[in-house]
Amino acid sequence: MAVSAIEEASNFSFLKQPPHQPPLFSLASSAEQHYANDPNTCLLKLRQFGEAVARHLFALAGIEEDARGSKQIDRLAEVQRRDFIDRDIAGLLHLLRKEGNAAAHDFVGEQRDALAALRVGRQLAIWFPRAFGFPPGGFKPGPFVEPLDAQLQAGNIGPGNIQTLGAIGPRSPRLYS
């Protein structure tokens, strides 16, 4: 299967490798793709990403989903109660939950909030394999790179449109390398 330029440039591309659950990369990369043009959707996708992580934690801990409720807040309380995650990781997951809830129910979502949530999502994405030894020997995810507009990533903006780039954000290593 061919890898698109967007997938290649994703801050979450390491999630495509086993043993991660398929939705993790899909949700996180979708959030990235919506960051510039639809920050509300970015926040919703990151909330879903946090839920997928929590469900994966439930599976790793051997906790049955229906035994502890199906709400994200209940899942997080249970894995924290069992010392499966610490307060810091629970805080990151709660942040994605709250931002996603605000996006869903209050129809909010600013680009700066989406960027902050993407950084939090990436912290979780890096923590997860390190905490559970995937892959053996560790990995080097590299620095976080602010995602560019999906059109720019797809190559639809070229040198003739260089004045447009200032509206997108600071110089990105992806753009100028």
What separation in angstroms does the CA of 160 have from each of 5, 149, 157, 176? 20, 16, 8, 14
Instruction: Give kind and range of the element (H or E) at residue 69.
Output: none
Instruction: Give kind and range of the element (H or E) at residue 114.
Output: helix 111-132
CA 36-47-122 angle, 5° bins:
65
Q: Which pLDDT value is given to residue 21?
A: 67
Q: Which pLDDT value is given to residue 146?
A: 92
Q: How far apart are CA 105 and CA 95, in angstroms?
A: 15
Q: Are 113 and 41 in contact (CB under 8 A)?
A: no
Q: How far apart are CA 72 and CA 103, in angstroms?
A: 16
Nearest to 126, CA basis, from 15, 48, 51 = 15
CA 9-14-16 angle, 5° bins:
100
Query: Where do the CATH 1.20.120 domains begin and end in the chain?
Result: 21-144
* pLDDT one-digit tens code per residue, 5-29: 545 579 998 888 766 667 999 999 9
Please state the rounded mean pLDDT for residues 30-56: 96
Extract the tokens encoding 129: 């394999």
Percent of the chain surpassing pLDDT 70:
73
Per-residue pLDDT at 160 exceeds 60: no
Q: How far apart are CA 100 and CA 6, in angstroms?
A: 23
Q: Please state which CATH number belongs to domain 21-144.
A: 1.20.120
Q: Are 11 and 144 in contact (CB under 8 A)?
A: yes
